[in-house]
Amino acid sequence: MPFVRIMTGTSYNEMQKRDISALLQRALNETFAVPAQDRFHFFESFAPGDRYIDPDYLSAGRTEKALLFNIVAGKPRSETQKAAFYRQLASELSQQMGIAEADVMVVIQFTAAEDWSFSGGVLYQP
């Protein structure tokens, strides 16, 4: 179950956020072995003075439309799965929404099953 924080500036409206979430979910389903109903995406929008991002660090050049996807997932994925996910997400955001691939940054963290409680204070046991 990936839990995804999508951090943005203030340039995205509600409809664009919905589209970003849909493209993210499709990439997770198709490359990251995530079930269709397993969708937990939370947007955080930061005002211009609340985020400072180097435009060129390991990038072809980020803009004010830069997105950071922070993904916390349960089971580890292979390097091949992660690479395919990164490619598909950046490509589809670019093709479908005109978001520059340089504006897409992803950080993935993995946790153990016992680090999750999905509801009711119950420890998750797969």
Residue with more model confidence, 48 or 5: 5
Burial of 114 (0-12, 13-18, 19+ CB in 10 A): exposed
12-69 confidence digits (pLDDT tens): 999 999 999 999 999 999 999 999 899 999 999 999 899 999 999 999 999 999 999 9
Per CATH, is 3-115 categorized as 3.30.429.10? Answer: yes
User: In this structure, what token pair is assigned to residue 36?
Assistant: 């269709």
CA 64 – CA 104 distance, rounded (Å): 11
73 has pLDDT over 90: yes
CA 81 to chain centroid, in Å, comes to 14
CA 26 – CA 12 distance, rounded (Å): 20
User: In this structure, what token pair is assigned to residue 78?
Assistant: 């292979």
Q: Whole-number mean pLDDT of the chain?
A: 95
User: In this structure, what token pair is assigned to residue 13?
Assistant: 């409206």
Radius of gyration of the chain (CA): 15
Q: Give me the pLDDT at residue 1, please.
A: 78
Q: Give me the pLDDT at residue 126, please.
A: 81
CA 98 – CA 106 distance, rounded (Å): 18
Q: Is 112 left (phi over 0), alpha (psi -120 to 50) or beta?
A: beta
What predicted TM-score, i.e. pTM, was given to this entire model? 0.93
Q: By C-alpha distance, which of 102, 45, 42, 107 is closest to 70?
A: 107
113 has pLDDT over 90: no
Q: Give me the pLDDT at residue 68, please.
A: 98
Local confidence band at 125 (pLDDT 50, 70, 90 cut-offs): confident
